[in-house]
Amino acid sequence: MSFPVHRPRRRRRTEPLRGLVRETRLTSSGLVYPMFAVPGTGVRREITSMPGIYQQSVDKLVEECREVAELGIPAVLLFGLPEHKDEVASEASSPDGAVQRAIQAIRKAKLKLIVITDVCLCEYTSHGHCGMIHDGEVLNDPSLTALADAALSHARAGADIVAPSDMMDGRVGAIRKRLDENGFQDLAILSYAAKYSSAFYGPFREAAQSTPQFGDRRSYQMDPANAREAFIEVGEDLAEGADIIMVKPALAYLDVIRRVRERFDVPVAAYNVSGEYAMVKAAATNGWIEEKRAVLEVITGIQRAGASIILTYHAKDIARWLKNGE
Ligand SMILES: [Zn+2]
């Protein structure tokens, strides 16, 4: 059938009609808001390259969590910065670390929030790599113990989901084993399964102060040119016990999100990363694009590609717009 019998424009005549036939509907229920916990009290420092996003001490972070919960955003993702960095990321598993204290504070405030914690070593190591170093090489197996230690410390503090982002081989299995041995069989793992070595992490490194002091992360994060390889990474993480898998970044990897969605029947998350956020913010600030429309289009695109969970720094704005029916 074709024109003039068929006229697709009939379905686009009015906003109610467009709403009726809309294939992808945004809600706040799949949003996750990433946050940065730092030591101290009364600290709230805006990250220059990420307007509206802050490094915060636990007291301030909990205040913002209250706002996040009131907006109907179901989950936060916590990153932490230590007092001191060292070669072996000692503070990553400290019960007094900023993340561990933030989890406890959110629990104590009885906020209706799923607390997801990023499990990695790069914020805590003096060299800024996600694993242990020997002779300039990032070691795989010795890093697993430290990662499992960190995950267990988050579990003990009261996290709902731990999210390893390091890309060491075998980390999900090591974490699952450690959690199970300590009575945390019900705590879920969201693995950064297909995490690419990306230029779009730039602003995050300012936020997490985690720039590698030598070399780069290409020996453990994935090559941006590879999509099929994502099946291997996702498959392994699922075999090791991941409950939810993630593709990161989102925008340059929509095909990976789609392919992973079609291949695996588990919830797929996508991380709309700092550089993607910064680009939209910078262009909007200059009046080059309309922020709200651009953000909603980006998030709709990520969901349409197949992600049902979206981690985004725009989460509060999106929830506000959806709440006000805008
Ligand atoms: Zn890392």
CA of 25 to the centre of ligand 1 (A): 33
Q: Residues with catalytic annotation? A: 195, 248
With respect to residue 3, please indicate whether it lies within any of the assigned structural domains. no
With respect to residue 175, please indicate whether it lies within any of the assigned structural domains. yes
- Residues 228, 260: contact at Cβ < 8 Å? no
Q: Mind listing the pLDDT tens digit for each residue in 221-250? A: 999 999 999 999 999 999 999 999 999 999
The CATH number for 58's domain is 3.20.20.70
With respect to residue 16, please indicate whether it lies within any of the assigned structural domains. no
CA of 165 to the centre of ligand 1 (A): 6
- pLDDT at residue 16, as a whole number: 96
- pLDDT at residue 222, as a whole number: 97
pTM > 0.95: yes or no: yes
What does the radius of gyration of the chain's CA atoms come to, in whole angstroms? 20
- pLDDT at residue 208, as a whole number: 84
CA of 19 to the centre of ligand 1 (A): 41
With respect to residue 137, please indicate whether it lies within any of the assigned structural domains. yes
- pLDDT at residue 289, as a whole number: 98
Mean of the pLDDT values across residues 289-293? 98
Q: Mind listing the pLDDT tens digit for each residue in 102-131? A: 999 999 999 999 999 999 999 999 999 999
Q: Please give the share of the chain, as a percent, with pLDDT higher than 90.
A: 94
- pLDDT at residue 326, as a whole number: 61
- pLDDT at residue 56, as a whole number: 98
With respect to residue 8, please indicate whether it lies within any of the assigned structural domains. no
- pLDDT at residue 206, as a whole number: 84
If residue 40 lies in a helix (H) or strand (E), which one and from where to where? none
With respect to residue 1, please indicate whether it lies within any of the assigned structural domains. no
How far apart are alpha carbons 99 and 76 in whole angstroms?
12
- pLDDT at residue 164, as a whole number: 98
Is 169 buried (19+), middle (13-18) or exposed (0-12) by CB count in 10 A?
A: middle
Which of 190, 187, 134 is CA-nearest to residue 158? 187
With respect to residue 192, please indicate whether it lies within any of the assigned structural domains. yes
- The answer to whether residue 324 scores a pLDDT higher than 90 is no
Dihedral sign, Cα of residue 219, residue 224, residue 226, residue 230: positive
Q: Mind listing the pLDDT tens digit for each residue in 63-82? A: 999 999 999 999 999 999 99
Neighbours of ion ligand 1 (CB under 5 A): 120, 122, 130
Residue 205 binned pLDDT confidence (cut-offs 50, 70, 90): confident
- pLDDT at residue 43, as a whole number: 97
Full residue range of the structural domain in which residue 259 is found: 25-323
- The answer to whether residue 292 scores a pLDDT higher than 70 is yes
Query: Measured in whole angstroms, how far is the alpha carbon of residue 88 from the centre of its chain?
Result: 24
- pLDDT at residue 175, as a whole number: 98
Pairing of β 50-57 and β 44-47: antiparallel
CA of 31 to the centre of ligand 1 (A): 22
DSSP state of 223: P
How many domains is the chain partitioned into structurally? 1
With respect to residue 6, please indicate whether it lies within any of the assigned structural domains. no
- The answer to whether residue 325 scores a pLDDT higher than 80 is no
Strand partners, 138: 133
CA of 325 to the centre of ligand 1 (A): 38
How far apart are alpha carbons 130 and 144 in whole angstroms?
10
